[in-house]
Amino acid sequence: MKRIDDNDFFFQERFRIANDYIQKIVELKRVRTPDAVQKILDLKRIIRSLYGLY
């Protein structure tokens, strides 16, 4: 059985998740409501925390 390089795997997963969140931010920027702005800020915090772990 081949050993999966954990760092590479988790980096790819974090990148995929962040990419999904960025696409959601782009969609929310088109809406321009106070609720959308709050969701954008929340998603930005999540993305920062994904890359702040290491």
Domain ranges of the chain: 23-54
- Mean local confidence (pLDDT), 11-23: 89
* 26-53 per-position pLDDT tens digit: 999 998 899 999 999 999 998 888 777 5
- Concatenate the DSSP letters of all residues of 26-49 into one string: HHHHHH--HHHHHHHHHHHHHHHH
pTM over 0.85: no
The predicted pLDDT at position 2 comes to 56
The phi-psi region of residue 5 (left if phi > 0; otherwise alpha if psi is between -120 and 50; otherwise beta) is: beta
State how far the Cα of 50 lies from the Cα of 6, in Å rounded to an integer.
Answer: 15
Q: How many residues does the chain have?
A: 54
